[in-house]
Structure 1
């Protein structure tokens, strides 16, 4: 039987979705349930927290970048063998980009496709019954979805809770719980979101505290009752969302290189590829018995000096690139370039396999979906292949250099095609993270 699922969403960002999702995931796991987490949208960091909270892998569901078959396969893989799937929305429930119906990147698209009800987290600070008007708007805005109940966050007092609950009763919406204002439940953040799960101090203690707080005020039995089961594929991904760059892939994995979509790795493995991790921060070169190397995004800007001094890693990477494909995404792209300027304005020599030079001192947020057409064949596919992806970084390009672009990219808002990334020999890189082959 397919596990029941639900989506924890909110009218806007900053409402407390992640902390409440993690608390629920850990609280249900402590009950002895097999819980799986999923994340709507192109987020690397939250799935790692889901995995820590549940003890099971998490993955992304992205309605803009993924076709229905891939979305159902990822959800089905999570639901297979689980007792409950608790997915986390992104941004506001209906926040989206221009796209075909059902493929706008909104969390509501995922709820509609999978038939999972939504539990709405509402930050009620500064309001009382008016919160019900917001909830009612969410309830009526999209007839494809079902709002099964609400969890109130940042409740100031018992009197405040009663007033908000009166409003919810008026619109016939179940209040599943109410969390008080509590600063200690907030997870630490930095420029790309939460500090990564692997770097968060006392993560287990924090997850237990979240579970304690949520279990004390949320009716977990009522939450289980509103979850809905949907018939989904119960088999692994039938085909990779991206072509595997090799049969044995050396993949950088440490605090500087960690942003890899779980579904991409799962797809590669399903296609028969083996992933072999190595750590540039530990001065490890890519294993020489691999036939491709992948440098994911992450936080190399926070470790630029250490990477520049990792002579075995850099020499091994240069040797590898003489005969085999190497690809870098975002942070990995920066490391493949000539130099990386850190936040203090200090320039650090990088691998020099591409001519790009980047800076974290000159910060500018770049954020959004991308559709890319490859200019030449390489690890991401053949020349002319179309990919969907996402870009999110604060680094800037100081010098693009002489390398030809990897792809021509557009965004969902009608931008003219523009060159992106770099290629030279066996080496390619770009600031956009590939999510799937375009349909």
Structure 2
């Protein structure tokens, strides 16, 4: 393997990791470096930004949800034929759940397991020499996690930059650049985090602005040299989620966007064909497909259009009479009887399952999940355990009368209860599947 790799980490969310990562990806791509991005943990959105910055597919690498063998397989594939792999950390560098060593979901797991050094992004707003104490703590917290250098973010002035960088240099860590405070470098957000790259009308121009800022502020040569050869042992896809069918009708538009990149890629590598259709364009799933998959997304923002899509609804009903249909999170909401939007208006959905959901009566659900299937479904066989994630504000306001799809536990194994529903060929839940347990 010829790739070098570097983790972009930080003490916490909101430090500017995503902006720095996206800017670096585009800046290196401009130089002719074949650079790819990856994101630790279950974040859906950032891999889309990585792809927008490089023109190459993004990827999630999740040390909790993915068995080490699968993690190695996916990491090697992402680095294949690349010169540089930038891995963006979720949350803080060491933030994960209590679990077996290197199975916590934290980016530090990958630093240890794969020997990848870390470029530490420090938001120095509101501090100066104290930044050196934070950097010192990161450099000495875990001897197996190497901090290769720091990037200072949101410095207020040249004097501020000097105070921080000189203090960090005294503890033996190089500062590889400083990004001055600039509100124009922020990315737009909404209730599930950042607005997706595909939805931002001027995303390419914004990524160029980020790249301009990183080129002006950071030492790209030193950052490239800080990355180390990515020498990862061969893995296998044995624990990957199997294709649910040979031809998969995949809902794909502004309401249905959250399919993990590694799932679609593995299904295609295994010989399956993804056949996209758009419910918002009133398209129905092609009847010659073997299975229909409704991924997560933002149906609550498009509930009126989905309710008016008669051809989509009738086509779904015809398909479900004879073939499997599965919905995840937003897809699960659309499979129900009705969806209440943020303004409290109820909208008719497909009615393939009998529950009702609401975005008006919000409650955040967030965390890793282990789902044990109670029947065969597109997710797997009865009794199998699937690892995944939930992140949604919508809630079930009428549970309906369907049989549950699975029993779920949290990432620590604590029982939560039944999840989702199943009726005939139809199944769904708020649970997003990542890999087989």
Mark the CA change 1:368 to 1:238 in structure 2 (over 3 Å): closer, same or farther: closer
Quote the Cα distance in structure 2 between the aligned partners of 1:198 and 1:409: 32
1:238 Cα deviation (Å)?
Answer: 4.0
Quote the Cα distance in structure 2 between the aligned partners of 1:302 and 1:144: 45
Kindly provide the CA deviation profile for residues 228-270 of structure 1, in whole angstroms up to 9, marking residues without a partner as x: 11223679x6446102110000001111100011111111112
Kindly provide the CA deviation profile for residues 112-144 of structure 1, in whole angstroms up to 9, marking residues without a partner as x: 112111000000000001011111111111222
Quote the residue 1:63 is aligned against. 63
2:145 is the alignment partner of 1:145: yes
Aligned length: 437
- The answer on whether the counterparts of 2:117 and 2:145 sit within 8 Å (CA) in structure 1 is yes
Q: How does 1:33-48 map to 2 (within 5 A)?
A: 33-48=33-48
Quote the residue 1:329 is aligned against. 328
Quote the residue 1:124 is aligned against. 124
Quote the residue 1:309 is aligned against. 308
SS state at 1:290 partner:
coil
Quote the Cα distance in structure 2 between the aligned partners of 1:380 and 1:246: 11
Quote the residue 1:17 is aligned against. 17
- The answer on whether the counterparts of 2:72 and 2:234 sit within 8 Å (CA) in structure 1 is no
Quote the Cα distance in structure 2 between the aligned partners of 1:201 and 1:395: 26
- The answer on whether the counterparts of 1:308 and 1:348 sit within 8 Å (CA) in structure 2 is yes
SS state at 2:322 partner:
coil
Quote the Cα distance in structure 1 between the aligned partners of 2:265 and 2:232: 18
TM-score (norm 2): 0.98
SS state at 1:314 partner:
helix
Name which of structure 1's ranges 339-348 and 270-279 shifts more when overlaid on structure 2.
Answer: 270-279
Kindly provide the CA deviation profile for residues 396-427 of structure 1, in whole angstroms up to 9, marking residues without a partner as x: 11011111110000012452241001000000
Q: How does 1:222-241 map to 2 (within 5 A)?
A: 222-232=222-232, 238-239=237-238, 241=240
- The answer on whether the counterparts of 1:240 and 1:271 sit within 8 Å (CA) in structure 2 is no
Quote the Cα distance in structure 2 between the aligned partners of 1:111 and 1:355: 45
TM-score (norm 1): 0.98
SS state at 1:298 partner:
coil
* Unpaired stretches in structure 2, ≥5 consecutive residues: none
Quote the Cα distance in structure 1 between the aligned partners of 2:300 and 2:90: 26
SS state at 2:327 partner:
strand
1:195 Cα deviation (Å)?
Answer: 0.6
Quote the residue 1:358 is aligned against. 357
Name which of structure 1's ranges 290-299 and 107-116 shifts more when overlaid on structure 2.
Answer: 107-116
- The answer on whether the counterparts of 1:77 and 1:233 sit within 8 Å (CA) in structure 2 is no
Kindly provide the CA deviation profile for residues 122-171 of structure 1, in whole angstroms up to 9, marking residues without a partner as x: 00000001011111111111222100001000000000000001210121
Quote the Cα distance in structure 2 between the aligned partners of 1:371 and 1:239: 18
Quote the residue 1:27 is aligned against. 27
Kindly provide the CA deviation profile for residues 70-101 of structure 1, in whole angstroms up to 9, marking residues without a partner as x: 11111111111111001100001111112111
Q: How does 1:94-133 map to 2 (within 5 A)?
A: 94-133=94-133
Quote the Cα distance in structure 2 between the aligned partners of 1:238 and 1:266: 11
- The answer on whether the counterparts of 1:373 and 1:387 sit within 8 Å (CA) in structure 2 is yes
Quote the Cα distance in structure 2 between the aligned partners of 1:239 and 1:281: 35
Quote the Cα distance in structure 1 between the aligned partners of 2:99 and 2:78: 26
Name which of structure 1's ranges 35-44 and 136-145 shifts more when overlaid on structure 2.
Answer: 136-145
SS state at 1:258 partner:
coil
Quote the Cα distance in structure 2 between the aligned partners of 1:201 and 1:422: 37
* Unpaired stretches in structure 1, ≥5 consecutive residues: none
Quote the residue 1:340 is aligned against. 339
Quote the Cα distance in structure 2 between the aligned partners of 1:412 and 1:293: 28
1:312 Cα deviation (Å)?
Answer: 0.7
- The answer on whether the counterparts of 1:336 and 1:354 sit within 8 Å (CA) in structure 2 is yes
Please provide the CA RMSD for this pair: 1.1
Quote the residue 1:401 is aligned against. 400
1:283 Cα deviation (Å)?
Answer: 0.6
2:410 is the alignment partner of 1:411: yes
- The answer on whether the counterparts of 2:370 and 2:385 sit within 8 Å (CA) in structure 1 is yes
SS state at 1:384 partner:
coil
